[in-house]
Amino acid sequence: MLDSLQGKGCVVTGAARSIGLGIAEKYCKDGAKVAMIDINPEVMEQAERLRAEGGFAKGYILDVTDRDAVLECFVQIEKDIGPIFSLVNNAGIVDQRPFEEITTEMIDKQMAVNVNGTLFCCQGAIKSMRENKMGRIINFSSKSGKTGSALMAHYSAAKGAIIALTHALAFELAGDNIQVNCMCPGITDDSGVWGVVSSKYTENLKLPREEVIKRFTAKIPLKRLTYIEDIVEMVHFLTLKGDYMTGQAYNITGGREMH
């Protein structure tokens, strides 16, 4: 069990904004060497900001659906920050629409980014982790990956696949002392996903945004949406203390999801 992440190489995908950026900031504050990946060029500015604040951060513009580019990027990351200790696969997309409207292209896009992107980044990181007989992989599923969400069948299917991938990798990598877990957040306030989802629910349910939030909050035993900080703290805990935790899909839902 570690006391801090001082000097540890940590990679975060989807790190330009929101949850991924929060995780990268937390890692930097704990002394980690952080590689920040995103398809959004803004990731370079955020990495520069964290360096100006005294952290060790380097940005990489990358399409995680391009396997060759991903593997090349991870070779460069190891040169830049040293051995990779932690990988957080936060990069993902969401879509919402009636089931009958889902096309082949929409399904393929959900799978390409959410599932293939996660798988490719794991492939990029595990060589370093295996060589050092130590590592943490934290994938991002969703509440929707456990109990599918209405109007989000293709997204739910992709996030369910992340949980199965996490289980499989936890078994396969345990012998190399690599722990693999995943996050299953509920509706997360101030996140890009919720911004898309809430506007779509407003459109599809023909309700004002305030009523949509009220309806969803009423389903949560703790009576509030998930905060980005709730997720960041759990990721940090698993990275720092999770040496006997593997193959788990952790709910961060205020009690809405309990299995």
Query: Is the CB of residue 139 less than 8 Å from the CB of residue 180?
Result: yes
How big is the CA angle at 220 (ends 115 and 183), to the nearest 5 degrees?
Answer: 25
Q: Is 251 left (phi over 0), alpha (psi -120 to 50) or beta?
A: beta
Query: Is the CB of residue 253 less than 8 Å from the CB of residue 140?
Result: no
DSSP string, the chain: --S--TT-EEEEES-SSHHHHHHHHHHHHTT-EEEEEESSTHHHHHHHHHHHTT-EEEEEE--TT-HHHHHHHHHHHHHHH-SEEEEEE---------GGG--HHHHHHHIIIIIIHHHHHHHHHHHHHHHHT-EEEEEE--GGGTSPPTT-HHHHHHHHHHHHHHHHHHHHHGGGTEEEEEEEE-SBTT-HHHHHHHHHHHHHHT--HHHHHHHHHHT-TTSSPBPHHHHHHHHHHHHHH-TT--S-EEEESTTS---
Active site residue 27: no
Q: Which among 155, 201, 244, 250 is annotated as catalytic?
A: 155
Catalytic residue ranges? 155
